Amino acid sequence: MKEKKLTLANVASALIVLCLYVAVFIAEQKLPATSMLFTVLKKGATYALVAVSMNLLNGFTGIFSLGQAGFMLIGAYVYAIFTIPLEQRVNVYQYYAGGVVQFTLPVFVAMLLAGLVAAFFAFLIGLPVLRLKSDYLAIATLGFAEIIRAIFQWNQLGPVTNGSNMLRLFPTFNDFNIRNADGNVTVYLSTLVPLLVAGVCIALIVMIINSTYGRALRSIKDDEVAAEAMGINLAHHKRLAFCVSSFFTGIGGAMLAMYQTTVQAKSFTSAMTYEILLIVVIGGVGSVTGSCISAFLFVAASEWWLRFLDEKQMIGNWEVPLLRNGFRLVVFSIIIMIVVLFFRRGIMGTKELPDLFRRKKKAGGELK
Amino acid sequence: MWNTVFPYLLSGISVGGQYALIAIGYTMVYGILRLINFAHGDVFMVAGIVMVYVVSSGVPLWLSILLVLLITSLIGFLIERVAYKPLRTAPRMSVMISAIGVSYTLQNLVLYITGGLNQIYPTIPWISGSVTIGSATTKMVTLVTPVLTIILVVALVQLINHTKIGMAMRAVSKDFETSQLMGIKINSVISVTFVIGSFLAAVGSILYFTNYTTVIQTSGAMPGLKAFVAAVFGGIGSIPGAVIGAFIIGIMENIIKGLDVILFKSGVIKAPLGLATFSDAFTFALLIVILVFKPTGLFGEKVTDKV
């Protein structure tokens, strides 16, 4: 009975998502490729995926993990290491005689591998760390991310990771564009593909959340002791959530590598994790839709809409005070603090896209 | 061998003292609010920035030091009032997220004010001077730090054990609700805690940046995290624990920084291994090991979970 009721809302939501994809595809063919919109969409897709996988842990399972930057780093490096074209390896690994990895994998295989390696590391680190409680777990995972960062910068591993030097020249989002024989782009796909990848991954996470496993995870969040008493294997379910989340975070890392076109371990600091955490909080802890919306809003606001705050603005003859480089970030952090302090439920609370239709219908009926 | 190790040991003790001064702020706040105050490392950084700006505006040095201590304490007080007090009844995670938000805000604010450039920390006469002890030449601050740290810690312990406000702090950290029922003004106790923590962080920042000479918006993050690890290592909530933990971490970190040189000179390894990369990572590895094998730290109290 319940399933049937859900269908209409679900179909409507699916339609909306589909329309968005079509709109992006059309926009990409029509608008110049340098438009800020595409930068925002690409980075937004990456952050949305990572934010949703963080939400799976923090919002749905109640494991407060701050290791995202570490898993993204693993994903980004695995992807980069296995996709740099053979002939470019000498240039990239210039201090390590071309490195030891002397084969390349197809892009999507490398992305999958990025996720798997991140999940494997999550499994290892989860063995000791997942036994810890709330804030101790947070600080332990944060520490783990720092350890990973140090390991990847160690020059003894240089033949694999290129030490503290940059990895570059691997395939990026622009390589998804379909080109004709002359090298001119015929079909632009560089924004659509990352959005599709993120979309598929997020759909998988949603399926997990709505499965038996997902319900078990929610019960862990509500009350660990009660969940255990109901016969849920705590250790097993926590490990599963941690590995799944890290798998998708790893894929997100690979996407970040493609977005940035270069990878360097020192940029994956805890500040990156904090940013993603703030995205999750703004979207609403426990809402996948919220995380997606706020990821795009966060990226758009920080990269695009608030840019004008960084430059001098004149209203008539009056120069607006305070505006100079960095002011955007100040305004941005104040907005974030307001959300954190006064709108703790975030944009969506714990609601999802289909819930909106159901609620709207009722509300509309009452109004009439 | 000793001559090689000694300089690293010395700077380890010095850095350890500076971490200790930050760690006390973490451990006191955690003891009372059960909150990891992620912004504490940034308060430490802001103290450095305030010093740079106060001195460059022409205020005499002795007055600037006093001003820095005062302003930093005030900032600590304001942060608590604005960002943590409204969330007193909220879940612990919300407060922690708010702390992360404050950290983000402080960093961005300093980025805006400084333009993201390294600020040269003013030299303070005498403690910036160099001194030679045995095989090591170092700044006077290296010797001053541990002494000053110990004096401050002893004073703080006296304050906590023998004054009325100290008794209130102990009561609040034992049981939040009950102490409220006993008529303790929780809010003023918490404010005092933040003021003391920020004051010590300011002292730590003067010593730390005299040693490292530049301040930038991110300089607080790493010392902050390490001081937190020190607090956990020593047993969170325990002040002597935090101090001992900080000294151990400071020393180990500096030994690892010099491990290549030490091993090379003593003939264990033929070529440098680049182990210095792990000086930061070591701290966190230690944290994970401690949390797994002795989650209460060296001097922490055992807590049992109630259903």
Cα–Cα distances in Å, from B306 out to A131, A230, B173? 17, 18, 18
**Structure token digits, residue B32:** 């009372």
Residues in a beta bridge with A338: none
Is residue B126 over pLDDT 90? Answer: no
CA dist B26 and B239 (Å) reads 10
Tens of pLDDT along A18-50?
999 888 888 888 888 778 888 899 999 999 999
B83/A134 Cβ within 8 A:
no
Query: What confidence score (pLDDT) does residue B141 get?
Result: 87
Instruction: Determine contact, residues A138/B36, Cβ cutoff 8 Å.
Output: yes
Instruction: Determine contact, residues A143/B284, Cβ cutoff 8 Å.
Output: yes
CA dist B145 and A95 (Å) reads 41
Average pLDDT over residues A226-241: 89
Domain A2-367 falls under CATH 1.25.40: no
Is residue B305 over pLDDT 90? Answer: no
pLDDT band at A134 (very low <50, low <70, confident <90, very high): confident
Tens of pLDDT along A326-349?
888 888 889 889 988 888 888 887
CA dist A159 and A166 (Å) reads 13
Domain ranges for chain A: 2-367
CA distance A337 to chain B (A): 6
DSSP letter (8 states) at residue B110: H
pLDDT band at A6 (very low <50, low <70, confident <90, very high): low
Question: To 10 degrees, the CA torsion angle through A258, A261, A267, A272?
Answer: -40
A277/B102 Cβ within 8 A:
no
Task: Find chain B residues with C-beta within 8 A of A342's C-beta.
Answer: 86
CA distance A362 to chain B (A): 31
Q: For A274, which residue in chain B has the nearest alpha carbon?
A: B100
Task: Find chain B residues with C-beta within 8 A of A146's C-beta.
Answer: 225, 280-281, 284
Q: For A147, which residue in chain B has the nearest alpha carbon?
A: B281
Residues in Cβ contact with B195 at an 8 Å cutoff, skipping those fewer than 6 apart: B73, B76, B77
Average pLDDT over residues A137-155: 88
CA distance A186 to chain B (A): 42
This prediction's pTM = 0.88
Residue B269 at interface with chain A, using a CB cutoff of 8 Å: no
**Structure token digits, residue A145:** 């991310």
CA dist A349 and A231 (Å) reads 29
Q: For A327, which residue in chain B has the nearest alpha carbon?
A: B112
Domains of chain B with CATH codes: 2-293 (1.10.3470)
